[in-house]
Structure 1
Amino acid sequence: MSEHYDVAIIGAGMSGLTAGIRAAHFGKKTIILEQHNAPGGLNSFYAKDGRKYDVGLHAMTNFVSPKERRAVFNKILRQLRINRADLDLIEQKSSRIAFPGTNLRFSNDEALLESEVEAAFPGQIDGFKRLSETIRDYPDSDLELPYRSTREWIKQFISDPFLEEMIFCPLMYYGSAVEDDMDVGQFVIMFRSIFHEGFSRPVEGIRLLIRVVLQRYRELGGIRKMKTGVKRLVAEGGRISRIILENGDEITADSVLSCAGYPETYGLVGDGVAPDESEFAGQLAFSETIAVYEDLPETWGWGDDTIVFFNNADRFEYRNPSDPVDLRSGVICLPSNFEFGDRPLKEGLVRVTCLANHDTWCGYSEEDYRAAKDEWFDRIQKSILPMMPEVTRDYSGGLVATDMFTPRTVKKFTRRARGAIYGSPKKIKDGRTEWDNLFLCGTDQGYLGIVGSMLSGVVVANQYVLKG
């Protein structure tokens, strides 16, 4: 006997959880199926040696005042009936784009970046202002257009290739699944999210956000089954007729929402193509080192940077590297450098994210894999020293804990094809598949980051579950 649901959601990531809230709020019998024991998907947390580490969260984008009722983030919270105060958000101090010989600072006050561009690129400021205003007024309907190259589109505003690369660096690192380019619609979304609105984080990190969202889903009577992976989706008559679970159980549902990814979801339907081998599998994977220090970074003279997007080569190359890790560029995040006020973190954290090669990391033997992690952890830590200010103490002093994830880690815990965090370069913007009752939400719908994932879940549930 299989149990029937109005809505079955594959994955307890942020898009799956928010879709579940919308469906359950309107009385739909809803179940979320998650293969692991922790919710959050690509934005989760784990414990190691008594410490809890965030996964994925450098910062939440789209920070605006609670009074800005038309802002995307505030609209999402109203749809979810979540009190913003419960998230206990704190703002970034300021962040930086660091290229050879040039730095551009930005903060949650967009005027800072404009003044930095004017000082460093005086001949480009008029074009940058036009770019910013065009993005501000960009029609929402145009965000749904098919893929268009931003590399071509941006040249009507910016003529200096160096400034172009500096603008692209943070936006690509925060959300492009396309090598060396971005879709115009996604570029617009990320520019607004980061440069117009800005960064924040819950004081407790991602755990607080997950806890608040989960509590809301439970209050509405939503069902959540952890350690319950989906083995196969059975398609009959143009619809998904049955969901076969890895434990052998079966369920049925009127609507099936998947935040597993585009090639991953199609692989579940059983077209015979493994997700890694699909032409739609992403090619961009990452490694990340986490270093915990007994002192806060501000004691080293590094107290103003919240996030640093760096590139130490003449040109910014955003592509699958030939080396295990590309040390030429990356993201340095200092979680303690938000505006904590009188509630500072007790330890200093430094997280460094770089592009990495999936095939290399997944091809190592277990012994070689451990050795490679040790080697590349040290190399990554040394590679960021030029990005740091002059300090009077040894940067490695006071190191109390470390960890590192690779594309192999991502593959193991998320089953993302090729360990690609940003998923497929082909986005299904309307969420529709060739099966009438199967819809994609999350990364491969084209909504990126934590706020984007939350928005995706709300949009897909509203469009296909509540209106359908």
Structure 2
Amino acid sequence: MSEHYDVAIIGAGMSGLSAGIRAAHFGKKAIILEQHNAPGGLNSFYAKEGRKYDVGLHAMTNFVPAKERRAIFNKLLRQLRIDRSELDLIEQKSSRIAFPGANLRFGNDEALLESEVERVFPGQVDGFIRLSVAVRNYPDAAISQPYQSTRKWIKQFISDPLLEEMLFCPLMYYGSAVEDDMDVGQFVVMFRSIFHEGLARPAEGIRLLIRVVLDRYRKLGGIRKMKTGVKQLIAEGGKISRIVLENGSELTADVVLSCAGLPETYALVDKALVPDQSKLAGQLSFSETIAVYETLPETWGWGDDTIVFFNNAETFSYRNPADPIDLRSGVICLPNNFEYGDRPLGEGLVRVTCLANHDTWCGYSDEQYVAAKGDWFGRIQQSILPMMPVATRQYAEDLVATDMFTPRTVKKFTRRARGAIYGSPGKVKDGRTEWGNLFLCGTDQGYLGIVGSMLSGVVMANEHVLKG
């Protein structure tokens, strides 16, 4: 006998957990099915040699003061019935976009970036202000419209190619599944989230956020099955009639919400559907190195940089690289450089994220893979030296632990096609599929990042579970 639910949610990532909270709050019988033993999906954590490492989270976007009740983040927390104080959010100090010959700082006061543009690109500041106003006033309904190239749209405001690339760099690295471009709607969302609002992180990192969200879901009576992957979705009469689990059991649900991704979800119904061009996986995957030091970055003369989005080539290329890893651009994150006050982290952390080639990393033998990780870890560390204080180079002997993930790691633990963290370039903004009761939420629905994923879960649950 299979058990029946009002809603079955595939994946215990941030979108799935948020959708579950929203459904359970209104009395819906909800179950979350997760193939792994740890929740969080693309934003989780793991333990190694006594240390806990965040996966995915550099910072949460959309940080605003609690008094701004109309802000997306605060409205989201109200929808989830989560008290903001539970998250213990710590603001960034400030971040930087670093290109050859030009640096732009930005922080949680949007005036900082405007003043920086005026300092570095005085002839562009009027256009930048008009761009900022256009982003602020961009209709929310238009965000859900079909894809429109930001490369074309932005030229009515910005005429300097260098400034254009510098603005794109952080927004692409934090939320574009499209090579060398962005959908205007996604650009608007990311511009608001990062430049208008700001960055913060829970004091304990992603573990705290996951704990708070899970606790909320449990208290509402939601059911969560870990290490319970979905093997197949059986379609009959234009709907998903049964969910077959990898352990051989089955269940049924009025509504199925999938956080697995667009091609991944379609493959669960019928693998023959995946080659359709509109269902193709994204081409963009990443590697990340983690270096742990005995000493803190503030002792290196690092300053207030929390995150550095860098490009050290003549042009900025955001695309699947020919080499195993593209060393020309990336993201340097220093988790220590948030405003911890009198409770700093105990060790120094430096995380470096770069674009990586999925086919190369997944094509290595086990022996080749281990050797390549060792080689590229060192090359990545060398490549970021120009962005780091000179004193930092003297602290190599203080390195106490390292780790590195690659597209192969992403694919293994998330089953994302091609290890594409940001999923398919083509987003399904209304969440609808070819089956009347199967809907997407999360990355391939169109909202990216931690706050975006949580928002996606809430919006899709409101629209397809509660209204339905």
> Normalised by the size of structure 1, how large is the TM-score?
0.99
Structure-2 change in CA distance of 1:208 and 1:437 (3 Å): same
Partner of 1:388: 388
Partner of 1:178: 178
Q: Deviations over 1:23-73 (max 9, x none)?
A: 000111100000000000000000001100000000000000000000000
Matches within 5 A, 1:72-151: 72-151=72-151
Structure-2 change in CA distance of 1:393 and 1:424 (3 Å): closer
The one-letter code sitting in structure 1 at the alignment partner of 2:260 is A
**Residue 218 of structure 1 pairs with residue 218 of structure 2:** yes
The one-letter code sitting in structure 1 at the alignment partner of 2:265 is T
Q: In structure 2, the residue corresponding to 1:255 is in which secondary structure?
A: strand
The one-letter code sitting in structure 2 at the alignment partner of 1:128 is F
Q: Deviations over 1:114-159 (max 9, x none)?
A: 0000000000000000000110111101001100000000000000
Matches within 5 A, 1:163-202: 163-202=163-202
Q: Deviations over 1:322-354 (max 9, x none)?
A: 000000000000001000001100000000000
Partner of 1:307: 307
Q: Distance in 1 between matches of 2:432 and 2:268?
A: 16
Query: Once the 2 structures are TM-superposed, how far is the Cα of residue 391 of structure 1 from its aligned partner?
Result: 1.5
Q: Distance in 2 between matches of 1:236 and 1:202?
A: 44
Partner of 2:451: 451
Query: Once the 2 structures are TM-superposed, how far is the Cα of residue 393 of structure 1 from its aligned partner?
Result: 5.7
Matches within 5 A, 1:53-452: 53-272=53-272, 280-391=280-391, 394-452=394-452
Contact 2:266 2:274 in 1 (8 A): no
The one-letter code sitting in structure 1 at the alignment partner of 2:443 is T
Q: Distance in 2 between matches of 1:279 and 1:265?
A: 10
The one-letter code sitting in structure 2 at the alignment partner of 1:127 is G
The one-letter code sitting in structure 2 at the alignment partner of 1:12 is A
Partner of 1:11: 11
Q: Distance in 2 between matches of 1:445 and 1:331?
A: 25
The one-letter code sitting in structure 2 at the alignment partner of 1:347 is E
Contact 2:23 2:461 in 1 (8 A): yes
Query: Once the 2 structures are TM-superposed, how far is the Cα of residue 271 of structure 1 from its aligned partner?
Result: 3.6
Q: In structure 2, the residue corresponding to 1:179 is in which secondary structure?
A: coil
Q: Distance in 1 between matches of 2:393 and 2:321?
A: 33
Q: In structure 2, the residue corresponding to 1:397 is in which secondary structure?
A: helix
Query: Once the 2 structures are TM-superposed, how far is the Cα of residue 389 of structure 1 from its aligned partner?
Result: 2.2
Query: Once the 2 structures are TM-superposed, how far is the Cα of residue 279 of structure 1 from its aligned partner?
Result: 5.1
- Backbone CA RMSD of aligned residues: 1.2
Q: Deviations over 1:273-302 (max 9, x none)?
A: 568998521000000000000011110001
296-305 or 452-461: bigger deviation: 296-305
Q: Distance in 1 between matches of 2:396 and 2:285?
A: 27
Structure-2 change in CA distance of 1:466 and 1:279 (3 Å): closer
The one-letter code sitting in structure 2 at the alignment partner of 1:5 is Y
Q: Distance in 1 between matches of 2:397 and 2:275?
A: 43
Q: Distance in 2 between matches of 1:34 and 1:392?
A: 41
Q: Distance in 2 between matches of 1:276 and 1:107?
A: 42
The one-letter code sitting in structure 1 at the alignment partner of 2:302 is W
Query: Once the 2 structures are TM-superposed, how far is the Cα of residue 395 of structure 1 from its aligned partner?
Result: 3.7
Contact 2:278 2:426 in 1 (8 A): no
> Normalised by the size of structure 2, how large is the TM-score?
0.99
Structure-2 change in CA distance of 1:222 and 1:151 (3 Å): same
Query: Once the 2 structures are TM-superposed, how far is the Cα of residue 396 of structure 1 from its aligned partner?
Result: 1.4
Q: Distance in 1 between matches of 2:380 and 2:48?
A: 21
Q: Distance in 1 between matches of 2:164 and 2:98?
A: 13
Partner of 2:40: 40
The one-letter code sitting in structure 2 at the alignment partner of 1:451 is V
Contact 1:34 1:229 in 2 (8 A): yes
The one-letter code sitting in structure 1 at the alignment partner of 2:2 is S
Q: In structure 1, the residue corresponding to 2:394 is in which secondary structure?
A: coil
Structure-2 change in CA distance of 1:185 and 1:112 (3 Å): same
Q: Distance in 1 between matches of 2:358 and 2:240?
A: 32
Long gaps (5+) in structure 2? none
Q: In structure 1, the residue corresponding to 2:32 is in which secondary structure?
A: strand
Q: Deviations over 1:393-439 (max 9, x none)?
A: 61413000000000000000000000000000000000011100000
Query: Once the 2 structures are TM-superposed, how far is the Cα of residue 223 of structure 1 from its aligned partner?
Result: 0.2
Structure-2 change in CA distance of 1:465 and 1:200 (3 Å): same
Q: Deviations over 1:347-370 (max 9, x none)?
A: 000000000000000000000000
Contact 2:238 2:435 in 1 (8 A): yes
Contact 2:16 2:32 in 1 (8 A): yes
Q: Distance in 1 between matches of 2:76 and 2:281?
A: 29
**Residue 465 of structure 1 pairs with residue 462 of structure 2:** no
Structure-2 change in CA distance of 1:448 and 1:275 (3 Å): farther
Q: Distance in 2 between matches of 1:278 and 1:78?
A: 35
Contact 2:262 2:279 in 1 (8 A): no
Q: Distance in 2 between matches of 1:55 and 1:79?
A: 26
